[in-house]
């Protein structure tokens, strides 16, 4: 039995309170060093040369011209590249990569943008100029598969990626009311603001490799590089202090990092590569397109009797990536007969990878649009339909939820939105020339947790230091670690220094899956407690500030210890004993609570859209959301995550689409102007409420994580609102102005 | 590995000289004719606060102020800046005091990853001095739409800009009063 309830932080002083980011001033003054702007002595610049076809063979490379350009030092390609090894690509062993194929491994071209060479030169300008002079000749082949959305091919069924209970086919056949719809979502780009970047340097005569990478997982990259280069992981260091976000495509290593490290080894000098935006979009990851069929059966009262969710997503020809769309479906609604299946189709694209709420965000679009269709079929309010099918237990596992308040999310958001003013008649709500549509959807994301280690020092100069090898990708991890230390020591936040993003630190988790907060904070707390034990021992020892006292009689207060009569700061205790610091180590991992409860966050989005029928323009006017994430450790940064997810959801719903040329599978819109993401002007009025039900069954801090959930459910709420305004059911994303014009 | 003389010969051949004022200081730079201002700032001068997001004038992360106007530094050759005043994010804070825009970004949590943030603030601080742009939220959102924030912190950025406007207005009023006194 876990003892989480014993250490549960029920009356926090710092945790759960508004705390400005401790790294804020670095970001706001330009002093935060992101990978792409780092320098090393004698550093060279690499510039990849991308394939201009998506299917065929690289016949030849003409390099003489490029090699004679000023400053060019070397050009790496298939003909001269080092012999390396593939990473085993194991999640369990922490060496998963985003593309198992090594750079320049063979001369086959599998996707547009695949690297055919890496030009290395003295300056950035020289590397770019020379890369443009490399002439590649290809044997282009027919038969490129441009997109899942442009083929009838079914793809390969993935064993183990589906789930089933009851007899969903029979229940669907016998249902009083049914929905049977197919949904398509275009491939999306992460379009994180900072492109992938690597700075690699070999030290100690090529024995040791130091890599700066814009990474959501420094330990994964270290382990993968150790396998690829066949060197001990102790001789490898991966560093990522500031990350210009990632949204999933920086979780695991890409081939550019390997090519950069090879160039650095071969030339004996540090090499930096910052992917140009075009190459970042062709070869640096994408959310794969999906095709999903949902069948719902219900009785006349609206009770679900069958849910069948069959999905197909894309992967590349060089790596197997499964974007499991149905992963939330078995847990979403109380229903006895549910099945999900997943197929994967190889296409001639750069390899897809996790993108914010991977799989589930696509699956929830289909499921929550289908639920709206069912509500229309039943003549029932969509909120009422969801409340009616609310699952009190996790129907997938049969376990109770650790903490679930979806019903309150639905009713609270509906009330703040003014849902009661909705006239369900299609197209009935107008404001001048505009038609108003109200739509809603539920949202969800699983609450995971990983093992983690951390280290904390209390120092004689009055500072406190916390270290963990996780990353802060903009979610605010630096700050919540400092909050946890401040909470448990009573020290001022300004005295706490936090170090993240290095493999030299205690092993920390990926910054992904909304798991970092629940994973890291318990380990930090364990390290703080270990350090506090150490300083108590110092204090009661010979010559100590509380010499002769019982350590258990001392309380921690305001960055020091007290015996009830006298308060002595950590710094004074250490000074009195002539010590520079005490050190605390801690580790934490999920326990058997996971066999007793199901852990998942839920919430609800309500959306108002306005359509100008004269010009077929739709805009999202406002979004009102209530989300239950357990406790928000730092409410402003947590709310910021949800608000950002909602903005990204507007993009998914209305704007974002990687366009592959149906003739040859080349990516047409690999730039920030033609791949459209929401701007300031596209951002709706957003009102986010975070319910405050700390989930102490998940961890002692009560937080379940917040990075993904805000994005889920937004696109279906938009689509459902557009249906309410127009009577037209859009089942394909994005819902573009062209699609609106066609109706 | 190439020898050092070859290194310096190739790396620094064909440079041009450009005189400009950078964050208040007169500078003479030696730059390659094809060097883009953004890359000169980041790679040659070590001013990494100006960010690279697209190199095509599409994202706004590289925004600097040139003679007080917000501009994409990725769309300007460095040699075009002869005689101009270039201000980067490193020059926005004065005498160790955050600019009101920086201070309000901190208070309003108007960022997440922080990568687009310098560009957002360089655009915002220029916009707040631009009388042609309305002070209402819709005008600010329109004027700021050249700066993409993929983290989607737009709500907080808008709040921060409007808060900085109040702060700057108070300062201006105070300064005028001081002048009269």
Domain endpoint, select from A548, A567, A589: A589
Interval A304-333 mean pLDDT:
98
* Least CB–CB distance from B145: residue in A27, A244, A679: A679
Examine the residue annotation and report whether A492 is marked as an active-site residue of this protein. no
User: Are A577 and A613 in a shared domain?
Assistant: no
Residue A524 lies in a domain: yes
Interval A165-177 mean pLDDT:
98
Instruction: Tell me the ipTM for this assembly.
Output: 0.97
Contact predicate A602/A405, CB 8 Å: yes
Domain endpoint, select from A530, A559, A589: A589
Report the SS3 class of residue A123.
Answer: coil
Tokens of A680: 């300031």
Chain A residues in contact with B36 by the CB 8 A cut-off are 125
pLDDT at B170 over 80: no
- A254 vs A341: CA distance, rounded Å: 29
Q: Which of B75, B115, B116, B121 to mutate to test the interface with A (most CBs of A within 10 A)?
A: B115
Chain B residues in contact with A671 by the CB 8 A cut-off are 54, 56, 58
Q: State how far Cα A207 lies from the chain centre.
A: 34
* Least CB–CB distance from B109: residue in A640, A677, A686: A640
Interchain pair A245, B13: CB under 8 A: no
Interchain pair A680, B106: CB under 8 A: no
Chain A residues in contact with B61 by the CB 8 A cut-off are 193
User: Are A534 and A584 in a shared domain?
Assistant: yes
Query: According to the model, what pLDDT value does residue B89 have?
Result: 98
pLDDT tens-place string over residues A492-530: 999 999 999 999 999 999 999 999 999 999 999 999 999
Chain B contact for A398 (CB, 8 A cutoff): no
Residue A619 lies in a domain: yes
Interval B14-32 mean pLDDT:
96
Q: How confident is the model at residue B9 (pLDDT cuts 50, 70, 90)?
A: very low
pLDDT tens-place string over residues B97-153: 999 999 999 999 999 999 999 999 999 999 999 999 999 999 999 999 999 999 999
Interchain pair B52, A677: CB under 8 A: no
User: Are A559 and A692 in a shared domain?
Assistant: no
User: Are A603 and A570 in a shared domain?
Assistant: no
Query: According to the model, what pLDDT value does residue B6 have?
Result: 43
Average pLDDT, chain B: 90
User: Are A668 and A701 in a shared domain?
Assistant: yes
Query: According to the model, what pLDDT value does residue A580 have?
Result: 98
User: Are A461 and A567 in a shared domain?
Assistant: yes
The CA angle B138-B143-B147, to the nearest 5 degrees, is: 115
User: Are A465 and A580 in a shared domain?
Assistant: yes
Q: Write out the residue range of the structural domain in which residue A478 sits.
A: 4-32+449-589
Distance from CA of B83 to the nearest CA of A (A): 23
Residue A639 lies in a domain: yes
* Least CB–CB distance from A681: residue in B36, B107, B145: B145
pLDDT at A701 over 80: yes
Distance from CA of A682 to the nearest CA of B (A): 8
> What is the DSSP pairing of strand A600-612 with strand A732-733?
unpaired
Report the SS3 class of residue B36.
Answer: strand
Query: According to the model, what pLDDT value does residue A131 have?
Result: 98
Report the SS3 class of residue A431.
Answer: strand
User: Are A636 and A648 in a shared domain?
Assistant: yes
Chain A residues in contact with B142 by the CB 8 A cut-off are 680-681
pLDDT at B173 over 60: no
pLDDT tens-place string over residues B46-94: 999 999 999 999 999 999 999 999 999 999 999 999 999 999 999 999 8
User: Are A614 and A685 in a shared domain?
Assistant: yes
pLDDT at B10 over 50: no
Answer whether the bond into residue A628 is a cis peptide, omega within 30°: no
User: Are A572 and A662 in a shared domain?
Assistant: no
The pTM of this model reads 0.96
Chain B contact for A635 (CB, 8 A cutoff): no
Query: According to the model, what pLDDT value does residue B171 have?
Result: 56
- A719 vs A729: CA distance, rounded Å: 7
User: Are A600 and A736 in a shared domain?
Assistant: yes
Interchain pair A274, B52: CB under 8 A: yes
- The residues that bridge with A247 in the sheet, in sequence order, are none
Alpha carbons within 13 angstroms on the beta-carbon side of residue B128 total: 22
Interval A293-298 mean pLDDT:
98
- Of the candidates A194, A213, A434, A708, the residue annotated as catalytic is A708
pLDDT at A458 over 90: yes
Interchain pair B2, A129: CB under 8 A: no
* Least CB–CB distance from A122: residue in B7, B49, B56: B7
Query: According to the model, what pLDDT value does residue B180 have?
Result: 42
- A564 vs A555: CA distance, rounded Å: 8
Residue A301 lies in a domain: no
User: Are A601 and A734 in a shared domain?
Assistant: yes
pLDDT tens-place string over residues A51-99: 999 999 999 999 999 999 999 999 999 999 999 999 999 999 999 999 9
pLDDT tens-place string over residues A557-601: 999 999 999 999 999 999 999 999 999 999 999 999 999 999 999
Query: According to the model, what pLDDT value does residue B179 have?
Result: 45
Q: Kindly write down the DSSP assignment for every residue of A458-499, as one continuous string.
A: EETTS-EEEEEB---SSS-HHHHHHHHHHHHH---GGGEEEE
Q: How confident is the model at residue B13 (pLDDT cuts 50, 70, 90)?
A: low
Interval A401-417 mean pLDDT:
98
Residue A517 lies in a domain: yes
Residue A249 lies in a domain: no
Interchain pair B152, A645: CB under 8 A: yes
Residue A326 lies in a domain: no
% of chain A with per-residue pLDDT over 70: 99
Total domains present in chain A: 2
**Residue numbers of A between 83 and 142 with CB closer than 8 Å to B:** 122-126, 129
% of chain A with per-residue pLDDT over 90: 99
For the four alpha carbons of A187, A190, A195 and A197, in that order, the dihedral sign comes to negative
* Least CB–CB distance from A686: residue in B34, B150, B155: B155
pLDDT tens-place string over residues A15-52: 999 999 999 999 999 999 999 999 999 999 999 999 99
Taking CA atoms, what residue in B is nearest to A125? B35
Interval A279-293 mean pLDDT:
98
Domain endpoint, select from A561, A589, A617: A589
Chain A residues in contact with B35 by the CB 8 A cut-off are 125
Interchain pair A125, B39: CB under 8 A: yes
Q: Which of B112, B127, B138 to mutate to test the interface with A (most CBs of A within 10 A)?
A: B112
Taking CA atoms, what residue in B is nearest to A280? B54
Interval B31-56 mean pLDDT:
97
Distance from CA of B177 to the nearest CA of A (A): 30
Residue A75 lies in a domain: no
Domains observed in chain B: 14-91 (3.10.20.30), 100-176 (1.10.150.120)
Q: State how far Cα A42 lies from the chain centre.
A: 35
Chain B contact for A707 (CB, 8 A cutoff): no
Query: According to the model, what pLDDT value does residue B94 have?
Result: 87
Interchain pair B150, A641: CB under 8 A: no
User: Domain containing A676 — which CATH number?
Assistant: 3.30.365.10
Q: Which of B63, B109, B159 to mutate to test the interface with A (most CBs of A within 10 A)?
A: B109
- The residues that bridge with A390 in the sheet, in sequence order, are A333
* Alpha carbon distances (Å) from A678 to A278, A377, A710: 19, 33, 15
Interchain pair B150, A20: CB under 8 A: no
- A216 vs A46: CA distance, rounded Å: 22
Chain B contact for A475 (CB, 8 A cutoff): yes
Residues A1-15 as b/e (b if ≥16 CB within 10 A, e otherwise) read ebebeebbbeebebb
Chain B contact for A195 (CB, 8 A cutoff): yes
Chain B contact for A68 (CB, 8 A cutoff): no
Distance from CA of B179 to the nearest CA of A (A): 30
Q: Which of A284, A680, A681, A709 to mutate to test the interface with B (most CBs of B within 10 A)?
A: A680
Q: How confident is the model at residue A232 (pLDDT cuts 50, 70, 90)?
A: very high
Chain B contact for A677 (CB, 8 A cutoff): yes
Taking CA atoms, what residue in B is nearest to A70? B10
């Amino acid at each position: 039995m876990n003892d989480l309830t014993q250490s549960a932080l029920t009356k926090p002083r710092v945790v759960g309170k508004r705390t400005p980011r401790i790294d804020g001033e670095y970001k706001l003054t330009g002093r935060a060093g992101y990978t792409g702007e780092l320098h090393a002595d004698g550093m060279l610049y690499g510039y990849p040369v991308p394939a201009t076809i998506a299917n065929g063979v690289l016949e030849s490379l003409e390099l003489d011209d490029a090699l004679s350009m000023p400053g060019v030092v070397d050009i790496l390609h298939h003909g001269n590249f080092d012999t390396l090894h593939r990473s085993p690509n194991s999640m369990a062993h922490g060496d998963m990569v985003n593309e198992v194929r090594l750079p320049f491994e063979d001369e086959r071209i599998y996707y547009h943008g695949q690297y055919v060479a890496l030009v290395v030169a003295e300056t950035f300008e020289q590397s770019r100029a020379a890369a443009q002079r490399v002439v590649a000749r290809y044997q282009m082949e027919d038969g490129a598969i441009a997109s899942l959305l442009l083929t009838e091919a079914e793809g390969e069924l993935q064993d183990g990626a589906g789930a089933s209970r009851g007899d969903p086919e029979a229940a669907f056949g016998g249902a009083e009311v049914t929905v049977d719809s197919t949904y398509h979502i275009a491939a999306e780009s992460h379009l994180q603001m900072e492109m992938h970047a690597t700075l690699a340097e070999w030290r100690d005569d090529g024995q040791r490799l130091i890599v700066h990478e814009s990474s959501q997982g420094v330990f994964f990259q270290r382990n993968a590089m150790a396998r690829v280069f066949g060197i001990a992981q102790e001789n490898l260091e991966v560093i990522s202090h500031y990350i210009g976000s990632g949204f999933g495509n920086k979780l695991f290593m890409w081939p550019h990092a390997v090519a950069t490290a090879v160039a650095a080894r071969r030339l004996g000098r540090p090499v930096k590569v910052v992917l140009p935006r075009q190459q970042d979009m062709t070869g640096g990851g994408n959310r794969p397109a999906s095709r999903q069929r949902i069948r719902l059966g219900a009785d006349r009262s609206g009770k679900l009797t069958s849910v069948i969710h069959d999905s197909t997503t894309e992967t590349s020809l060089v790596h197997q990536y499964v974007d499991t769309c149905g992963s939330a479906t078995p847990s979403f609604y109380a229903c006895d007969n549910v099945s999900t299946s997943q197929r994967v189709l190889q296409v001639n694209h750069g390899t897809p990878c996790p993108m914010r709420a991977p799989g589930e965000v696509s699956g929830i679009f289909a499921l929550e649009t289908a639920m709206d269709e069912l509500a229309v079929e039943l003549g029932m309010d969509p909120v009422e339909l969801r409340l009616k099918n609310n699952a009190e237990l996790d129907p997938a596992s049969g376990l109770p939820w650790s903490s679930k308040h979806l019903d309150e999310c639905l009713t609270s958001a509906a009330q703040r939105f003014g849902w009661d003013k909705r006239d369900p008649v299609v197209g009935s709500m107008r404001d001048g020339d505009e038609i108003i549509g109200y739509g809603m959807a539920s949202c969800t994301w699983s609450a995971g947790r990983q093992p983690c280690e951390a280290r904390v020092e209390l120092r004689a100069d009055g500072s406190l230091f916390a270290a963990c090898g996780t990353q802060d990708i903009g979610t605010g991890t630096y700050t919540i670690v400092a909050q946890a230390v401040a909470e448990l020591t009573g020290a001022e936040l300004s005295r706490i220094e936090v170090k993240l993003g290095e493999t030299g630190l205690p092993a920390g988790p990926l910054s992904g899956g909304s798991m970092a907060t629940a994973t890291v904070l318990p380990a930090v707390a364990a390290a703080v407690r270990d350090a506090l034990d150490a300083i108590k021992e110092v204090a009661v020892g010979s010559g100590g500030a509380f010499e002769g006292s019982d350590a258990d009689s001392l309380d921690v207060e305001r960055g020091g210890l007290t015996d009830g009569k006298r308060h002595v700061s950590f710094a004074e205790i250490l000074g009195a004993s002539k010590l520079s610091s005490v050190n605390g180590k801690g580790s934490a991992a999920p326990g058997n609570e996971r066999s007793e409860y199901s852990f998942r966050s839920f919430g609800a989005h309500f959306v108002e859209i306005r359509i100008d029928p004269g010009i077929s323009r739709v805009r999202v006017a406002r979004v009102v959301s209530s989300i239950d994430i357990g406790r928000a450790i730092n409410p402003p940064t947590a709310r910021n995550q949800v608000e950002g997810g909602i903005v990204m959801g507007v993009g998914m719903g209305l704007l974002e689409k990687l366009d592959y040329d149906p003739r040859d599978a080349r990516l047409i819109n690999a730039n920030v102007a033609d791949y459209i993401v929401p701007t300031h002007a596209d951002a709706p009025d957003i009102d986010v409420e975070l319910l405050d039900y700390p989930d102490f069954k998940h961890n002692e801090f009560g937080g379940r994580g917040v990075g993904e959930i805000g994005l889920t459910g937004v696109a279906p709420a938009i689509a459902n609102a557009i249906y309410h305004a127009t009577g037209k059911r859009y089942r394909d994303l994005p819902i573009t102005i062209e699609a609106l014009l066609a109706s | 590995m190439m020898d050092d003389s070859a290194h310096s010969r190739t790396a620094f051949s064909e440079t041009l000289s450009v005189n400009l004022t950078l964050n208040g200081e007169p500078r003479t730079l030696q730059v390659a004719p094809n060097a883009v201002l953004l890359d000169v700032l980041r790679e040659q001068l070590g001013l990494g606060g100006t960010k690279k997001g697209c190199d095509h004038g599409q994202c706004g992360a590289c925004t600097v102020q040139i003679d007080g106007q917000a501009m994409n530094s990725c769309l300007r050759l460095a040699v075009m800046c002869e005689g101009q005043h270039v201000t980067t994010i490193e020059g926005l804070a004065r005498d160790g005091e955050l600019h009101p825009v920086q201070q309000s970004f901190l208070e309003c949590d108007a960022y997440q990853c922080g990568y687009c943030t310098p560009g957002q603030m360089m655009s915002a601080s220029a916009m707040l001095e631009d009388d042609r742009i309305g002070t209402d939220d819709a005008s600010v959102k329109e004027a700021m739409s050249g700066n993409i924030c993929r983290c989607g912190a737009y709500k907080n950025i808008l709040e921060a800009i409007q808060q900085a406007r109040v702060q700057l207005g108070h300062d201006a009023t105070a300064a005028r009063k001081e002048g009269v006194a």
